[in-house]
Chains A and B, each alone.
Chain A
């Protein structure tokens, strides 16, 4: 960590460390990155994200960027979208990708897992109504396949429909009177927990640099 000056951390960092669970070192590193992305400003805007070159190849970059500005990710009670975020909110979003500490009770683990799944759920649900509808799902699949180029909308539609149908089937005996409008968060949780892969994925779901807080030498590559 030779690149960073050893100034004493401002008090906000302590508060943030309490709130988000990052270590002070990690917060410093992220703060530096925040400053770099926002070009010295105190707030980040969407355009700043678009400046990251390697993000260009990512098929779901729009969803990722939106996730940063989605107020529902800041705290469970907020709604709507922000146009600019400050460092604290940036950290809150990043804290979803923190690895779990080894000393955690099962309760804490469960709640963290729930938060992570809520994050993904919000990413799928682009119109923000709390349900993943068929349109949302189709949109997601189209985005995922958008990099392939050669295929038309029908294929992605077929895939999205098949997937949606699979999920709907697992809901169970529904009253045929009801419409199945979309996947609610509870159902999403249930489906994910049945999936064999989910356990591994959740535990791998972290960014290594955030794990040890080091890597300042490798960072800040635009």
Chain B
């Protein structure tokens, strides 16, 4: 099965992986089956052996077991690992079948797999393990996803739209809950289904409201899973996603509220008021708990410079503790997790090493990905497991009411919100927001832990709604987005220019506000930033880093990233440009400042003939002079550098030099070679006095550049030898170049932090989405 895979191509590989997955399934089933029989066998033997010790002392003496099976001890971890392995293999398999993964979102496929597995297990053993118990879900599966979301939450768009998000989360969820709950009650009273064994009119108003509150919450897991694949613009993404995160507080409060009411049996006005107070406490309390743990984590990370290895552990542990502490007090665990991640991130990132940052990022992505996969599979299994009470009236009316409630809620709220927003939400936006209100596993788990007599019918309805939203809405949202031509996410990366422009605008607007005398939005933001810089950063960030303004940090990250890209691209000085540019740094000087004598010959010449050799020499000489000046100013670099980053200074210097040399030689390259990413010119050795410049697309280094590299690395001054003598220098400096390459590669054994982390939702290539 695994022998001739390469020529078969991707689908072949996918098929074989699917086969492997099925094989694992079979193993799972068989194991469970054989376990039972084995257990029975061994236990009966032991029983008989110990039950009658006296009489059976010698009758049942077994020979020494050479090979035995003792599955009991490892059964739980073994099964867990098997499930996780199955989930991961399924995920692998889907992505290898491109046609399928383009049409159907991953969540649907995973639920289908879960259904399949559940079906097989049921057929094999007539009983399905209850895998989606609420404890596993809330304590193990949900936190990684939420932490991943909170840690990488793009703060700026989130805070800018916080009013809208809160409106949708709080008011929208409340509206949904009461609308669905109330109308379902009405439907139950009206509908009299003679054929169904359930008497719907038995269901009181409170259980209906409870049901409404469970089903009204938009689920972050489902939203994440679906929205990540459709790449809509940032605004819509943050609106729906933010809403799904923040409505947890509302859901928790409503759930507990209605449960209490159901226990006590009667509702009074005081209780309603207490409910409101409890909402505030739950929400704000959760955030405070999270912020507290976040600050603790930031403070701890300040001292970890000597034990870099356990840095990521602090991040994970403090966040998990925040979640658990919030759950202890019945506060909103999700909000506390989000707050913890968001608060600790800027400080922790300033303190930890690049490697720890990478570790945190990839661990979080990995855990959240596995969790998400498992949740969907278990959802499928749990569907098969439970006994369902089908009542068509109830089910269809639930689904319809949910949709209607969502649409009305979104439209109504947007009408109010648009009065206060600068960037109004268009109809298309509203449609996507309404359509993106997916329900997921949180609703299921909450329904699972109900103690109501109508639990079964509620659970069936919840599963129906989940299936409907995930399958129907999840599958159709991508074509709808295309159809409606919703604005997609801009793939453009953040550049230095934009960063500068952003800062400039911020300061400008703050200044104008001050001139107006109005204490506006920008004024308070500025005040918060100043407070942050003055006090908080000093406490939470170690050493010099606290003084580094954001622009510098951004610039460093960008440089690091570019340098790493450069090395990975084979050590050549490859520019990050999509088309070759014949601009050189020297060209950017305004004419007045350049030395007048060199001016006529500084013009680059696309083609050279014999008669221009003097000019060429002049060009190269002056260019060497210019780059020398530039290099010297960087030799005294006062960049704030993390002392633990080996080779960072060298990197920056090297990259600078590479860039300049590239600019210089690009200037002298021909227009015709515009297909190459870069083209180098090198002087052919062995020619006579006339240096002819030949264009060679494949040459790794120009001898000039190598020479310069050589010089600076050995820290001598620049020698001003003319190009005609370069042939000699070429051979000797080739070795140095190799050494430098190695040094660079060793220093950069890991990819650095992603520059656009805090602004993008894009994941890196190796991260599964």
Contacts and interface: CB of A to CB of B under 8 A. Distances in A.
Interface stretch (B109-117, B169-177, B284-292, B545-553): B545-553
Nearest to B587: A180
Q: SS class of chain A's interface: helix, strand, loop or mixed?
A: helix
A169 interface: yes
Contact of A33 (B516, B526, B659): B516
Contacts of B492: 194-196
Contact of A97 (B512, B559, B580): B512
B585 interface: yes
Contacts of B521: 208
Interface stretch (A7-15, A80-88, A199-207): A199-207
B582 A174 contact: yes
Contacts of A102: 424
B226 interface: no
B99 interface: no
Contact of B583 (A147, A168, A194): A168
Nearest to B575: A169
Given A54-B523, A144-B504, A171-B583, A206 B515 contact: no
Contacts of B639: 151, 154-155, 158
Contacts of A162: 496, 555, 558-559
Contacts of A43: none
Contacts of B559: 162
Interface stretch (B458-466, B630-638, B714-722): B630-638
Interface stretch (A70-78, A107-115, A214-222): A214-222
Contact of B512 (A192, A198, A207): A207
A176 to B, nearest CB: 4
A176 B582 contact: yes
A52 to B, nearest CB: 6
A57 B512 contact: no
A208 B518 CA distance: 9
Contact of B511 (A60, A133, A197): A60
A59 interface: yes
Q: SS class of chain B's interface: helix, strand, loop or mixed?
A: helix
Contacts of B510: 58
Contacts of A194: 492
A168 B580 CA distance: 12
B590 A177 contact: no
Nearest to A157: B633
A134 interface: yes
Nearest to A131: B590
B507 interface: yes
Contacts of A54: 514, 523
A159 to B, nearest CB: 5
A182 B583 CA distance: 12
Given A155-B552, A168-B583, A180-B587, A52 B514 contact: yes
Contact of A176 (B512, B558, B588, B603): B603
B512 A60 contact: no
B266 interface: no
A203 B423 contact: yes
Interface string B541-583: 0001001110110010011000000000000000101011111
Interface of B: 160, 422-424, 490, 492, 495-498, 500-505, 507-521, 523, 526, 530, 544, 547-549, 551-552, 555, 558-559, 575, 577, 579-585, 587-591, 594, 603-604, 606, 633-634, 636-640, 656, 659, 667, 671, 674
Interface of A: 30, 33, 36-37, 49, 52, 54-55, 57-61, 63-64, 94, 97, 99, 102, 120, 123, 131, 133-135, 140-141, 144-145, 147-152, 154-155, 157-159, 161-169, 171-182, 191-192, 194-198, 200-201, 203-210, 215, 218-222
16 contacts: A33-B517, A64-B511, A64-B515, A133-B590, A151-B548, A151-B640, A162-B559, A165-B588, A169-B581, A172-B581, A173-B582, A174-B583, A179-B587, A182-B590, A196-B498, A207-B509
The 9 closest A-B pairs by CB, nearest first: A196-B490, A176-B604, A209-B518, A152-B638, A64-B511, A176-B582, A148-B549, A163-B496, A54-B514
